[in-house]
Amino acid sequence: MARPKAFDIDAALVRAMELFWEQGYAATSMEQLVKTMGISRQSLYDTFGDKHRLFLAAMDSYCAMLDAAMLSPLRAPDAGLQALHDTGLAIIDFLVQYPKRRACLMANTTLELAPHDAAVAAKVRAHMQTMEDAFRHALGNAQTRGEIAAGGDLTALAKYLVAATHGLMVMAKSGADRAALTSILSTAVAPLMPAPGFRPAA
């Protein structure tokens, strides 16, 4: 009979995620992981396998956190233009809360590992698709209710918002403050405003 783990697996995984997020994959050593997670090297191997598999699990943990905090509201049955704006502001709050700017773990990983790591690339693509689907749902409601102009390509708009979101993350990591990020957001969401003279259908 297997012995129960002597540590909180979820808490240890979150600590690993935070370390990978701050430093990146290559710069994070096993020694740092063991110390930060508060477990032995053997416990790390027994529970997570190796550094690479631990990183994949950390990516999943990060995506779940982001989904709960920012994407779930976009999938609400009545989510529309207001939810899109609220999500944009929530993303800015998320980006500026850390004294040392981190951007987004997925955005960082896209540049560091995705080009030459198939497993990481698959998780990045899945995350991007999840974001796109959430944006598209809210955009569809907004278009149906006349909150944005009819006739727009919702898939293209959703992809644009995914790209704009990651652009905000890069700007935040480069040192842009809240005011600058809010200004960028205002410009980025301008295409979502109803066209001049547009009137929703009766």
Q: Where are the domains of the chain?
A: 62-190
pLDDT at position 6: 66
**Is residue 47 a contact partner of residue 11, using CB atoms and an 8 Å limit?**
no
* pLDDT of 1 strictly over 60: no
Residue 34 vs residue 97, higher pLDDT: 34
**Is residue 201 a contact partner of residue 149, using CB atoms and an 8 Å limit?**
no
Give φ, ψ of 92 to 5 degrees.
-65, -45
Q: Which residue has the tokens 């090297």?
A: 41
Residue 199 vs residue 190, higher pLDDT: 190
In this prediction, residues 47-69 reach a mean pLDDT of 93
pLDDT at position 197: 53
In this prediction, residues 59-63 reach a mean pLDDT of 94
CA distance 81 to 83: 5
Burial of 188 (0-12, 13-18, 19+ CB in 10 A): middle
Query: Ranked by mean pLDDT, which of 23-32, 102-111, 140-149 comes out on top?
Result: 23-32
* pLDDT bracket for residue 152 (50, 70, 90): confident
Percent of the chain with pLDDT over 70: 92
* pLDDT of 3 strictly over 70: no
Of the CA atoms within 13 Å of residue 135, those in its CB half-sphere come to: 24
In this prediction, residues 93-118 reach a mean pLDDT of 86
In this prediction, residues 145-166 reach a mean pLDDT of 90
* pLDDT of 198 strictly over 60: no
* pLDDT of 202 strictly over 70: no
Residue 116 CB coordination number (10 Å): 8
* pLDDT of 170 strictly over 90: no
CA distance 166 to 121: 16
| CATH class for the region spanning 62-190 | mainly alpha
* pLDDT bracket for residue 199 (50, 70, 90): low
